[in-house]
């Protein structure tokens, strides 16, 4: 069985074609500058990458070129589109109604349109990607996998904000949580690595990348997560503030005369690692500056490490324990020094890692960091959201 996974952003679109019989990616690539120019990079294992500058008026153009390349006599990997059994689309937000991965039709797509006001950045491009797949491959089973759906199991006291309840009823203002597909993937992998069923495990997963979130999963069900109504809540990120006293925003709006849009921009694009360090949003550059003695770069890392610790601690309290701790995504998988900082002085919680393995273990592989005698099993698990989407799509087809 072959499944095409599509992840559409506002001006870019990633794709991967999986052979589910082997689990292999047989082609993948990236379309960039959609609507503002265009370029495609198409990759096949063991072959030279193909790059072409083109014009993408919209997502239709991009997906049309992807399909053309996949079936191209020299650059392609399949003879024709009938070899693709289904398409799996990544969708960041499923709102309150779309709470599991599913095959979608008009009704679900109309619902996605209706929740664009609470998902203005990621909603429109995802819908465009879905619509383009429907137009270009009519009748092909089309699944959506929602980043929010892993959080369908959150108890109400974890997702309702203590503001007037009418705002939840009127505008669906609540915690939704994001990165769910990544947290779900690494949680399922943790189950395999520990060799115990999730129904017996309390797991904390740290997805630390440009965007970062931490999720608590108790006996197989997500019970809390650090991202909220939007991917803004929780940890400080590359350019996002994460959680701050909400009245800081209204105060700054008053004293700086910021409009709501300017305040959003300040919180989304000028804060986090970049805002504190003044150096970069990229973890590597912030570390480099900190190591050269830049005090604000050091401070940005101190804040991040401290906030990760605090959220881990709060989830241990929420679950009355933790058995497994996982690091994933760009920073989680690669930033050994940050992992060391986070896991230092956590013996009280049963967390301790082997310094040598943490600092010198192989990159890009699943790696157990647990120190001898530590109660909590700590792992690095490279995330693979695309494979999770392909697996969900395959599971839906076989139902």
Q: Which residues bind ligand ADP (CB under 6 A)?
A: 209-211, 238, 282-284, 287, 329-331, 334-335
Q: What Å distances lie between residue 146 and 7, 99, 108, 245, CA to CA?
A: 11, 7, 12, 29
Give me the least distance between CB of 225 and ligand ADP, in Å please: 15
Q: Between 182 and 378, name the residue whose CB sits nearer to ligand ADP.
A: 182
**Cβ atoms 146, 91 nearer than 8 A:** yes
Q: Give the number of residues written for the chain.
A: 399
In sequence order, which residues have a C-beta less than 8 Å from that of residue 325 and are 6 or more positions away?
203, 204, 206, 312, 343, 351, 376, 377, 378, 379
Give me the least distance between CB of 268 and ligand ADP, in Å please: 14
Report the alpha-carbon distance of residue 134 to residue 375 in Å, rounded.
50
Q: Which of 49, 80, 106, 147 is catalytic?
A: 147
Q: Between 78 and 235, name the residue whose CB sits nearer to ligand ADP.
A: 235
Give me the least distance between CB of 385 and ligand ADP, in Å please: 9
Give me the least distance between CB of 328 and ligand ADP, in Å please: 8
Give me the least distance between CB of 379 and ligand ADP, in Å please: 16
Give the DSSP letter string of 149-200: GGGGG--HHHHS-SS-THHHHHH--S---S-HHHHHHHHHHHHHHHTS-GGG
Report the alpha-carbon distance of residue 21 to residue 11 in Å, rounded.
32
Give me the least distance between CB of 26 and ligand ADP, in Å please: 23
Report the alpha-carbon distance of residue 359 to residue 293 in Å, rounded.
22
The two tokens of residue 344 are: 């230092």
Q: Between 328 and 393, name the residue whose CB sits nearer to ligand ADP.
A: 328
As a 3-state breakdown, the chain gives helix, strand, coil percent values, each rounded to 5, of: 45, 20, 35
Closest CA to 201 of 182, 183, 218: 218
Q: Between 276 and 329, name the residue whose CB sits nearer to ligand ADP.
A: 329
* CA dihedral of residues 113, 114, 116, 119 (deg, nearest 10): -120
- H or E segment to which residue 369 belongs: none
Q: Is 42 exposed, middle or buried (0-12, 13-18, 19+ CB in 10 A)?
A: buried
Q: Between 177 and 330, name the residue whose CB sits nearer to ligand ADP.
A: 330
Q: Between 137 and 146, name the residue whose CB sits nearer to ligand ADP.
A: 146
Give me the least distance between CB of 338 and ligand ADP, in Å please: 7
Answer yes or no: 147 catalytic: yes
Closest CA to 149 of 192, 96, 109: 96
Q: Between 337 and 397, name the residue whose CB sits nearer to ligand ADP.
A: 337
Q: State the residue number with the nearest CB to ligand ADP.
A: 330
Closest CA to 8 of 142, 163, 158, 198: 142
Query: Residues with catalytic annotation?
Result: 147
């Amino acid at each position: 069985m072959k499944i095409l996974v599509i992840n559409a952003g506002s001006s870019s679109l990633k794709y991967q074609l999986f052979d589910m019989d082997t689990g292999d990616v047989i082609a993948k690539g990236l379309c960039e500058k959609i609507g503002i120019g265009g370029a495609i990079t198409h990759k096949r294992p063991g072959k030279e990458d193909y790059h072409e500058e083109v014009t993408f008026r919209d997502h239709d153009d991009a997906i049309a070129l992807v399909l053309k390349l996949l079936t191209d006599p020299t650059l392609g990997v399949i003879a024709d589109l009938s070899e693709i059994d289904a398409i799996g689309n990544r969708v960041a937000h499923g709102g309150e109604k779309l709470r599991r991965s599913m095959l979608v039709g008009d009704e679900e797509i109309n619902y996605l349109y209706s929740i664009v006001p609470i998902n203005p950045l990621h909603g429109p491009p995802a819908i465009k990607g879905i619509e383009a797949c429907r137009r270009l491959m009519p009748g092909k089973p089309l699944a959506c996998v929602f980043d929010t759906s892993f959080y369908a199991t959150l108890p109400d006291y974890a997702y309702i904000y203590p503001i007037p309840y009418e705002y939840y009823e009127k505008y669906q203002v609540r915690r939704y949580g994001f990165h769910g597909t990544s947290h779900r993937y690494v949680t399922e992998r943790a189950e395999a690595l520990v060799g115990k069923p999730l129904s017996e495990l309390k797991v904390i997963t740290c997805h630390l990348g440009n965007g970062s979130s931490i999720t608590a999963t108790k006996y197989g069900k997500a019970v809390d997560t650090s991202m909220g109504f939007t991917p803004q809540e929780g940890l400080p990120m590359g350019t996002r503030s994460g959680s701050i006293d909400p009245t800081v925003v209204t105060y700054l709006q008053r004293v700086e005369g910021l409009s709501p849009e300017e305040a959003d921009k300040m919180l989304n694009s000028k804060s986090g690692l970049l805002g504190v360090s003044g150096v970069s949003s990229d973890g590597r550059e912030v570390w480099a500056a900190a190591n050269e003695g830049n005090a604000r770069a050091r401070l940005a890392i101190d804040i991040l490490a401290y906030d990760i610790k605090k959220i881990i601690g709060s989830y241990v309290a929420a679950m009355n324990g933790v058995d497994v701790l996982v690091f994933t995504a760009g920073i989680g998988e690669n930033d050994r020094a940050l992992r060391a900082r986070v896991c230092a002085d956590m013996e009280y919680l049963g967390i301790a890692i082997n310094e040598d393995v943490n600092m010198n273990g192989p990159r890009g592989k699943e790696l157990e960091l647990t120190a001898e005698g530590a109660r909590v099993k700590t792992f690095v698990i490279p995330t693979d959201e695309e494979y999770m989407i392909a697996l969900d799509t395959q599971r839906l087809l076989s139902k």
